[in-house]
Chain A
Amino acid sequence: MGINSKPVVFAILSAVVILIGTVVTVFVPLFMPSTQPVSSYVKPYTAIELEGRDIYIREGCNNCHTQTVRPLRTEVLRYGEYSKAEEFAYDRPFLWGSRRTGPDLNRLGGKYPDSWHYKHMQSPQSMFELSNMPAYGWLASNRLDTSNSFRKTSIQGFGYSAEQVKQQIADYAGKVTSAGYDSKTTRDLVTPASLRGELTEMDAIVAYMQKLGRDVKSMEAKR
Chain B
Amino acid sequence: MKDSGYEYSVVRGFAFSALFWLVVGLIIGLWIAFEMFNPALNITPWLSFGRLRVVHTNGLGLGFGLAGIFATAYYMLQRLTRTPLPFPRLARAHLWLFNTAIALAAVSLMAGMNTTKEYAELEWPLDIGVVILWVMFAVNVFAILIKRREKQMYISLWYLIAMTVTIAVLYIVNNLEIPVTPFKSYSIYVGANDANVEWWYAHNIVGFIFTVPVLAMFYYFLPKATGLPIYSHRLSIVSFWSLIFAYLWTGAHHLMLTPLPEWIQTVAIAFSIFLIAPSWGSVMNGYYTLHGNWEQMRSNYLAKFFILGITFYGLQTLQGPLQGLRTLNAFFHYTDWVVGHVHMGTMGWVTMIISASFYYMIPKITGREIYSIKLANVHFWFILTGQLVWTITMWIGGIQQGAMWKATNPDGSLMYSFLDGLTSLYPYYRIRFAGGVVYFIGILIFGWNLIQTVRQKPATAEA
A contacts, CB < 8 Å to B: 1, 4-5, 7-8, 10-11, 14-15, 17-22, 24-26, 29-30, 32, 34-36, 54, 57-64, 66, 68, 70-72, 74-75, 77-78, 83-85, 87-103, 124-125, 128, 130-135, 138, 148, 151-152, 155-156
| A66 CB contacts on chain B under 8 angstroms | 334
Inter-subunit contact A29/B196 (CB<8 Å): yes
Sampled A-B contacts (15; CB under 8 Å): A17-B245, A18-B166, A30-B197, A35-B261, A57-B116, A60-B49, A63-B53, A74-B408, A83-B258, A87-B259, A94-B190, A96-B255, A98-B118, A131-B419, A155-B178
A134 touches B186 (CB 8 A): no
Select from chain A the residue with minimum beta-carbon distance to B197. Answer: A26
Contact residues in A for B357 (Cβ distance below 8 Å): none
Is the CB–CB distance between B116 and A62 below 8 Å?
A: yes
Binary contact readout B417-430 vs A (1 if CB under 8 angstroms, 0 otherwise): 01100110010000
Contact B194 A25 (CB under 8 A): no
Q: Which of A92, A103, A151 contacts B194 (CB 8 A)?
A: A92
- In the complex the two chains form, is A94's CB within 8 Å of B198's CB? yes
Taking a contact as CB atoms closer than 8 A, the residue among B49, B181, B334 that contacts A63 in the complex is B49
B419–A130 touching, CB < 8 Å: yes
Could you tell me if A96 and B258 are in contact, using CB atoms closer than 8 angstroms?
yes
A201 to B153, CA, bound (A): 57
The answer to whether A30 and B112 have CB atoms under 8 Å apart is no
**A75 and chain B: residue at smallest CB distance:** B405
Question: Shortest CB–CB separation between residue A37 and chain B, in angstroms?
Answer: 9
Q: Which residues of B contact A133 (CB under 8 A)?
A: 39
Q: Is the CB of B146 within 8 A of A7?
A: yes
- Whether the pair B164, A11 counts as a contact (CB closer than 8 A) is yes
- Residue-wise interface mask of B (154-187) relative to A, using a CB-CB cutoff of 8 A (1 in contact, 0 not): 0001100110111001000100001011001011
Cβ of B132 under 8 Å from chain A: no
In the A-B complex, list the 5 residue pairs whose CB atoms are closest, starting with the nearest: A60-B50, A88-B191, A21-B248, A134-B42, A21-B249
Report whether A135 and B39 are in contact in the complex, using a CB–CB cutoff of 8 Å. yes
B244:A94 contact, CB within 8 angstroms = no
Check if B50 sits within 8 Å of A70, measured CB to CB: no
Whether B117 sits at the interface, judged by CB under 8 Å, is yes
Partner of A30, one of B164, B193, B241, B338: B193
Contact status of A131 and B334, CB under 8 A, knowing A29-B196, A29-B261, A74-B408: no
Q: Within the assembled complex, what's the spacing in Å between the Cα atoms of A34 and B264?
A: 12
In the complex, whether B152 has a CB less than 8 A from a CB of chain A is yes
Contacts of B251 in A (CB 8 A): 25-26
Query: How far, in whole Å, are A83 and B191 apart by their CA atoms in the complex?
Result: 12
Query: Which residues of A lie under 8 Å from residue B49 when comparing CB positions?
Result: 60, 63-64, 134
Evaluate contact between B419 and A128: CB separation under 8 angstroms.
Answer: yes
> Mostly helix, strand, loop or mixed at chain B's interface?
helix
Task: Determine if B283 is an interface residue (Cβ-Cβ < 8 Å).
Answer: no
Residues of A within 8 A of B39 (CB): 124-125, 131-135
Alpha-carbon distance between A24 and B330 when the two chains are bound, in angstroms: 25
Q: Is A54's CB under 8 angstroms from B184's CB?
A: yes
**A residues near B405, Cβ cutoff 8 Å:** 74-75, 78
* A156: B residues at CB distance < 8 A: 186
Chain A nearest CB, measured from B144 CB (Å): 9
A155 to B51, CA, bound (A): 25
Set B148, B248, B426: member contacting A18, Cβ < 8 A: B248
CB within 8 Å for A91 and B53 given contacts A58-B112, A59-B48, A74-B406:
no
**Distance to closest chain B CB from A173 (angstroms):** 22
Would you call A7 and B142 a contact (CB within 8 A)? Answer: yes
Q: B217 in the interface, Cβ–Cβ < 8 Å?
A: no
Residues of chain A lying within 8 A (CB to CB) of residue B335: 100
Instruction: Tell me if B158 and A25 are in contact (CB < 8 A).
Output: no
Chain B residues with CB under 8 Å of A20's CB are 245, 248
Q: Which residues of A contact B113 (CB under 8 A)?
A: 58
Chain B residue with the shortest CB-CB distance to A17: B245
> What is the CB-to-nearest-CB distance from B400 to chain A, in angstroms, rounded to a whole number?
14
Q: How far is the CB of B196 from chain A (nearest CB, A)?
A: 6
Q: A30-B193, A36-B193 are in contact. Are A85 and B259 (CB under 8 A)?
A: yes
> When A60-B114, A63-B54 are in contact, do A77 and B422 touch as well, CB less than 8 Å?
no
Chain B positions 399-422 with a Cβ under 8 Å from a chain A Cβ = 405-408, 413-414, 418-419, 422
- Distance A151 CA – B191 CA, assembled complex (angstroms): 20
- Chain B residues with Cβ under 8 A from A83's Cβ? 258-259
Q: Contacting B48 at CB < 8 Å: which of A22, A99, A134? A: A134
The distance from the CB of B28 to the nearest CB of chain A, in whole angstroms, is 13
Closest to A70 in B: B257
CA distance A34 to B146 in the complex (A): 45
Q: Do B35 and A60 touch across chains, with their CB atoms under 8 A apart?
A: no
Cα–Cα, bound, A100→B338 (Å): 11
- Other-chain contact of A4, B35, B118, B158, B418 (Cβ < 8 Å): B158
A156 to B120, CA, bound (A): 20
In the complex, how many angstroms separate the beta carbon of B158 from the nearest chain A beta carbon? 7
Q: Could you tell me the distance between the alpha carbons of A61 and B164 in the complex, rounded to whole angstroms?
A: 32
**A93–B37 touching, CB < 8 Å:** no
Task: Give 20 new A-B contacts, CB below 8 A, not counting A29-B193, A134-B39.
Answer: A17-B244, A18-B169, A18-B244, A21-B245, A21-B249, A24-B267, A36-B190, A60-B50, A60-B116, A71-B257, A75-B405, A94-B187, A95-B116, A98-B334, A99-B339, A101-B36, A128-B419, A148-B184, A152-B180, A155-B186
